[in-house]
Amino acid sequence: MSNGTTEPEPGTDYRVSSVDNAMTLLAALKDLPSLAVKEAAALLGVAPSTAHRLLTTLQGQGFVAQNPETRRYGAGPALFEVALAALQRADVRRAARAHLVALSAEVRETVSLTVLEGTSVRFIDSIEGLERVRGVARSGATLPAHCTAGGKVLLAALSDVELQRLYPNEELRPLTVHSITGRAELFDELAAVRRRHYATSFEQSTVGLSATSVPVNDPQGRPIAALVVSVFAARLDNDTVTALVEASSARARRVEEELRAPLSELSARV
């Protein structure tokens, strides 16, 4: 029996439509404190049963929560976590900007700020160095985390369970002949990163380019980003690694101070 709505047939179009409808419901919770099933159905133009399935799915993932008394659905803990992560990313980029500039001027190399996105790292800010041969600024770019110093710093902060989930297979895709190509080798490298509190990448993402990286922690002490110094490979020896890590660590601590400071004090502390 028809209820005046049109239900899509199962398949790719149906899955895309379901994702679009789910995003519409989440967007609606930006302006509405809660939604009833019938209200969600009217908003989407679907049957109440379809709206209920979508809400139940979102509830299972923590993106919405149901009030047991009113039976209405509001924003769930996972939605708040996504919003908090986005705010933290904006905060760390703003807090780190002046320190990226200062560190790049101090070491004359390209300095970047990266964050973890699954098995990739994204460069959210980058200051190009002063040396004639240098790494290019990569703001907005992504690279496989296991091939980068910043990625290894951030992966090292994850639990064994999280790492196994991210890397269920033994083989890893290389970017160069120097890249890590096996999960066991990566996990051994991450154990070393945890011991020394910094990571290196010797031409593992780009031939001719190496890097050092240290973590930037949020106010709860969890790594939220990585501070990366990219160096022409021929210039990165053991002494240079030590010097870059010391300079980067000092700047990372300054960024962490900014993240702990009230926003009203931010400009005065940079």
Let me know whether 227 and 112 are in one domain: yes
Let me know whether 129 and 253 are in one domain: yes
Do residues 171 and 182 touch, judged by C-beta distance below 8 A?
Answer: yes
Let me know whether 193 and 231 are in one domain: yes
**Locus of tokens 């992966």:** 155
With a pLDDT cut of 90, the percent of the chain lying above it is: 55
Domain assignment of residue 6, yes or no: no
Which of 27, 50, 75 lies at the terminal end of a domain, its last residue? 75
Domain containing 64 equals 12-75
Let me know whether 49 and 169 are in one domain: no
Domain assignment of residue 1, yes or no: no
Domain assignment of residue 3, yes or no: no
CATH number at residue 132: 3.30.450.40
Let me know whether 156 and 234 are in one domain: yes
pLDDT in tens, 204-248: 999 999 999 999 998 888 899 999 999 999 999 999 999 999 999
Q: Based on the structure, what is the number of domains in the chain?
A: 2
Q: How confident is the model at residue 255 (pLDDT cuts 50, 70, 90)?
A: very high
Let me know whether 26 and 96 are in one domain: no
Domain assignment of residue 148, yes or no: yes
**Gap between the Cα atoms of 153 and 146, Å rounded:** 10
**Gap between the Cα atoms of 127 and 137, Å rounded:** 6
- Higher model confidence: residue 252 or residue 219? 252
Nearest Cα neighbor of 214 from 229, 203, 232, 230 is 229
Let me know whether 151 and 179 are in one domain: yes
Let me know whether 24 and 155 are in one domain: no
Domain assignment of residue 55, yes or no: yes
Let me know whether 223 and 140 are in one domain: yes
Let me know whether 160 and 230 are in one domain: yes
Most confident of 24-33, 57-66, 68-77, 245-254: 245-254
Tokens, residue 47: 């049957």
- Higher model confidence: residue 218 or residue 120? 120
Domain assignment of residue 21, yes or no: yes
- Higher model confidence: residue 136 or residue 185? 185
Q: How many helices (H) and strands (E) does the chain have?
A: 9, 8
CATH number at residue 31: 1.10.10.10
Domain assignment of residue 4, yes or no: no
**Gap between the Cα atoms of 224 and 217, Å rounded:** 5
Let me know whether 110 and 242 are in one domain: yes
Do residues 185 and 191 touch, judged by C-beta distance below 8 A?
Answer: no
Tokens, residue 85: 């992560």
Let me know whether 51 and 115 are in one domain: no
Q: What is the mean pLDDT of residues 128-147?
A: 81
